[in-house]
Homo-oligomer: A and B are copies of this chain.
Amino acid sequence: MDAKQKLTPGALYGLLGYRLRLAQQAVFRDFAVSVPGLSPGRVGLLIFIDANPGVTQSRLAEAVERDRSTMVGVLDQLEARSLIKRRRGEDRRTNGLWLTRAGCTLLARALRGIARHEKRIAARLSAAERRQLLELLGRISG
């Protein structure tokens, strides 16, 4: 053993915030493997559009708590990949959003990947422990 400490000191290791960050990073890495080609945020957008066909860009931005200007580029990318389409709304200031056929297909595949992912990260928890973890996380989130 070295005189120097190897990783972050015990000071951090006892903190909920730090441990939450470590867990989230581990989960994120597994997600990237299980759901190639889509980040968690992107999947969230596809799910939301799928559940709310024709939703406007501003409503979507509001739903995921981002500025509407932020959505423009993100949606440009999804549209460039032919996963979504924009269509001008009855209120002609708005764009309605829909999944394309390819978007539906990719979302379905992503959801299967997420199911595998979820199973893998919960592998070391019993069903009761998984429930309790969700409960405690909910308490933290306020």
| Count of chain A residues near B, Cβ 8 A | 54
Q: Are B122 and A16 in contact (CB under 8 A)?
A: yes
Q: Are A121 and B19 in contact (CB under 8 A)?
A: no
Given A48-B9, A124-B139, A125-B139, are A55 and B4 also a contact pair (CB < 8 Å)? yes
Main secondary structure of the interface of A (DSSP, over half): helix
Q: List residues 21-44 of chain A with CB under 8 A from any CB of chain B.
A: 21-28, 31, 40, 44
Bound state CA distance, A79 and B16, in angstroms?
A: 29
Smallest CB-CB A-B distances: 9 pairs: A23-B140, A23-B137, A19-B137, A133-B136, A17-B27, A124-B139, A26-B141, A22-B141, A4-B52
